[in-house]
Amino acid sequence: MALLLLLNYFLAQYDKLILSYFQIEVMRDLRLTSTQYGLLSGYATGIVSALSAIPIAFVADYSGTRLWTLTAAALWWNICCIFQGYSHTFWQMFLARLAMSIGQSPVEALSVSLISDFVPTRWLFLIESFLYVGVYIGEAVSAQIATAFGRTHTPWNDALKAIGIVGLVVAVMLRLVAREPCRKILNSAIEPVEAHQQAHTPQTESFQAKDGAASLLLASVKHVVRMKSFWLLTLAAGARQFSGNVFGYYMPSYLLAQYPSKPNLLSHYGTIVGAVGSVSCLKGGFVCSSSPKVPTMALLLTAIGGMVSAAFVICMVFSKSLAGGSLGIGTEILYGTMSAAYITAELWLGAFASLLAALLPPRMKTFCLGIYTSVIILIYSSAPQMIGLALRSYGAGSPSYIRATRNILVILIPVGYWVAGILFLLAFAPVRKDLAMQRRTVANGESVRGPISKSRVMFFAGSVAVLGSLTIALLVTSLIVH
């Protein structure tokens, strides 16, 4: 089951990343402006994905059909991927990607939730990290395909058609082979307790489906608001993913412009992403699974790894300058610093997802993860849109366009890594308190019901209002400019 979930998640990542490797060709063939490319790769699709993830995740939790929901979503987004391959205008491509984003929106929350319930607790961090290897395989395969297509002069849209067909096959296999696991409470400091063994505890009774959808919805929202670490972790992850989105969408085209005479650049780039990124992600999961202080270790790897990686990213961007203009030495510096950047920065995805799963009650786990993914989607998907607006006055591929892209990369990525790192470090104490609350609930049968302070409610409401206002403002601005 883990392998099929990995393949399914990889395909979702591939569909998102493939445009970045064909950016120039897609913009030329579809006659796109930088703002239009930003809409395809970022904000509009991100907003639809964020709005879709929450209701789909809630339905999956309430109905108890996470696997069926994931299968239906996978079938839908792969059909939309095939449609993108037949697009000839901006609006055809745009509508197809909007529809695809609906299907892809719950894949992370559903996959993390399913894995957390069918693997032993002691291996949770490692197996969740195995799932996130799909991120790096997606980038690596995209690079290899882009290189192969460039050499054979094969149209870029053939890649979208082919991967959509493969995705349909994987979705069918997932439904035929996998089974819905029993829900269980996860906590790094306690043994897992199966859901049917928890039926008489006050904590579980408040989340039973017999109370109705409204009761489950209200209990889930209250739990998120009551948690001391949820919002802090979400904002930190959003900042981290923001930098990652800037890297993924604009670094390949920038490096190609810096080293135009290196035909294997994208191939080597993809190899580093796939190999080093995968090893780093699995290493992070293994370290956390082996550590007696798992929550502290997961946060530490995430925070410190990103901060250290920022310096290597800067060296990547200026690799040609550091080599005195020499393309040969420059690529050596590029590959070395890129490897160092990935080995330090990419320890976190699986470990962090496991920590989130351990913080959430089983009955509402997918829905709460859906809230988390929706917020970070709104944060990180703004990156291509803002950059598209910043680059709108430059011709794609022009020297001024490349210089502006360089400045954006060297500022936004390190700043995002450091902001995220500081927030993750600040989350140490709140995470321990939330895990302690979970332990008391299971061990003593204490209820999680209780008053929520007005200040906490106001903080959450204000944060949601600010995020919503910024989202609307940026979308309206981009549409007006377009």
Q: Where are the domains of the chain?
A: 2-481
Environment class of 196 (CB within 10 Å of its CB; exposed 0-12, middle 13-18, buried 19+): exposed
Tokens of 367: 């829905």
- What pLDDT is recorded for position 40? 83
Per-residue pLDDT reduced to its tens digit, 294-333: 678 999 999 999 999 999 999 999 999 999 999 999 999 9
User: Looking at residues 386-413, what average pLDDT do you find?
Assistant: 90
Q: What is the mean pLDDT of residues 421-430?
A: 96
Q: Which residue has the tokens 């990419």?
A: 346
Residues 447-452, mean pLDDT to the nearest whole number: 63
pLDDT (0 to 100) of residue 444: 52
Does the structure show a pLDDT above 50 at 118?
yes
Q: Which residue has the higher pLDDT, 188 or 65?
A: 65
Mean pLDDT lowest for which of 11-20, 159-168, 377-386? 11-20
C-alpha angle 393-378-11 in degrees, rounded to nearest 5: 95
For residue 460, pLDDT beyond 60? yes
Would you state the pLDDT for residue 293? Answer: 65
Split at pLDDT 50, 70, 90, the class of 208 is very low
- pLDDT of 211 > 50? The answer is yes
pLDDT of residue 449: 56
pTM above 0.85, yes or no: yes
In which band, very low, low, confident or very high, does the pLDDT at 195 lie, cut at 50, 70 and 90?
very low
The Cα–Cα gap between 210 and 223 comes to 19
Torsion-angle region of 31 (φ positive above 0: left; ψ -120 to 50: alpha; else: beta): left
Q: What is the mean pLDDT of residues 424-442?
A: 84
* Residues 173, 387: Cα–Cα separation, whole Å: 39
pLDDT of residue 156: 83
Average pLDDT taken over every residue of the chain: 87
* Cα separation values, 340 from 242, 310, 345, 431, Å: 20, 10, 8, 29
Name the band, by pLDDT with cuts 50, 70 and 90, for residue 188.
Answer: very low
pLDDT greater at residue 224 or residue 385: 224
Instruction: Tell the burial category of 369 from Cβ atoms under 10 Å away from its Cβ (0-12, 13-18, 19+).
Output: buried
Q: Is the pLDDT of residue 191 over 70?
A: no
- Over pLDDT 70: what percentage of the chain? 90
pLDDT digits (tens, 9 = 90+) for 325-347: 999 999 999 999 999 999 999 99
Residue-level pLDDT at 384: 79
- Class of domain 2-481 (CATH, top level): mainly alpha
CA distance 311 to 320: 16
Q: Is the pLDDT of residue 419 over 90?
A: yes
- For residue 41, pLDDT over 80 is answered with no
Write out the H or E segment, with its range, that includes residue 259.
Answer: none
Please check whether residue 306 is in contact with residue 420, taking contact to mean a CB–CB distance below 8 angstroms: yes
What pLDDT is attached to residue 198? 42
